[in-house]
Structure formats: structure tokens, C-alpha cells
A and B are shown apart, each in its own frame.
Chain A
Amino acid sequence: ETGVTQTPRHLVMGMTNKKSLKCEQHLGHNAMYWYKQSAKKPLELMFVYNFKEQTENNSVPSRFSPECPNSSHLFLHLHTLQPEDSALYLCASSQNRGVRPIGYTFGSGTRLTVV
């Protein structure tokens, strides 16, 4: 375990379903991130939360909706997804001192398949 826990590990959902991905960190970090990892593409940064405030939304479609209720938990709510949204969704956390992060710790990811 890395200290960043993601659930579920695997998720298969239909295009009309609503589901949520969960991320939890107990490292005392103050920033959390959602990344999308697709085959043969760079990891894409989706959302950034610093001290529970969303500071970045990287032009992500509205069918992805993040929620950060506290500095230890991060959710990604999914609805009416498309097959091309199938990917590995990674959560990460870091301790940001000013603007320089002290390393990133990644979770194991949720493998999402949209059918």
C-alpha cells in the first residue's frame, strides 16, 4: 500500500449509470489530484485540489464531477460516460510547500470500463 487508497479497483459501468470513485490518503498531504491513464497517451491531469479547494479543472467534460469533502478524501462522480472514457483513473496526493510539491504519492488506480 502506498498510503493512497483507491476504491473500487475495477469498475464496469453502462453509459447510463452513475457511479463514484473514491480516494483516501492518510499521509497528511494537503493536495490531491485525479489523473487519467489511457493506453499510449501521457497521464492526463484532470483535477487538482489544494487545501480542499479546486484549483484546476483541465477542461474535463462535465460528466466527470469531483468532490473533496476534506483534505483526506477525494471522489470522482461519473455519469453518462462514453466508451472512450474507459481508462485507469489514478488518484495522487502531495504535500505542497508553497508551489513546490514534496513528491507525489499515487494510488493503485481504478480500472474503469464503460460498456
Chain B
Amino acid sequence: AQSVSQHNHHVILSEAASLELGCNYSYGGTVNLFWYVQYPGQHLQLLLKYFSGDPLVKGIKGFEAEFIKSKFSFNLRKPSVQWSDTAEYFCAVHDDNTDKLIFGTGTRLQVFP
């Protein structure tokens, strides 16, 4: 069964700093990978997803993620964060075999002006 690890539980940055949030998944066949964001008091929103093709995926709000198959990783990046990026970020993997969307524990990002 798939599992997802997010090693950074809480990240604190100043505005304009660069961001990289780690996500590793366990191997289990064909993977579909997602990053979701949850702003305070709001619903989960899809930031970006990877199904196949170019391993560098561009998402909304200037986010991108790179799928590195050899490292079983799908790290989220943003070159320059803003205060409005303060939120919780969840990595998720869809397991085609079980048809389940499995989430990591989430990373809480706080950006200070």
C-alpha cells in the first residue's frame, strides 16, 4: 500500500524567501501525485498534480513540483513566498491499485512580512 511522508511539519519563513517542502512516497506501481493547500478556515484546494509526462509540474500561484522517480519524491517549491501563502500544505498520492487518495500529515507554513 502507498504511504506518503512529509518531513517538514512546520516551516517559518520571511516574505521573499524560497520554499521547498519535502514529500516522499512509497513505491506501489503507477503513481499520481498531488499537492493540496488549505488556507486557514478554508477547504482543501488543488495546487498541482502529476500524472505523467514532464516531471516538472507548474501549479497555481507560482508553485511548482518536481517528480523524481529515483528518489520517490515530489517536492513542492516556490522561489519567493508571500504572506498570503501562509497555509497548510498536503502531499497526496493516488494508488491506482486500491483507488485511494492517500495524504501525508501536512506541513504548516507560516510566512511573516
Contacts and interface: CB of A to CB of B under 8 A. Distances in A.
The prevalent SS among residues of A at the interface is strand
A72 B103 CA distance: 24
A43 interface: yes
B49 A106 contact: no
B102 interface: yes
B43 A108 contact: yes
Interface residues of A, number: 26
Interface in A1-55: 2, 4, 33, 35, 40-43, 45, 48, 50, 55
Interface in A62-115: 90, 92, 96, 99-101, 103-109
Interface residues of B, number: 25
Contact of B44 (A55, A90, A99): A90
A106 B44 contact: yes
Given A56-B100, A100-B51, A100-B96, A106 B105 contact: no
B22 interface: no
Contacts of B100: 45, 48, 56
B70 interface: no
A92 B102 CA distance: 13
Contacts of B43: 2, 4, 90, 106-109
Contacts of A48: 99-100
A70 B74 CA distance: 36
A42 B104 contact: yes
Interface of B: 4, 9, 32, 34, 36, 42-46, 49, 51, 90, 92, 94, 96, 98-106
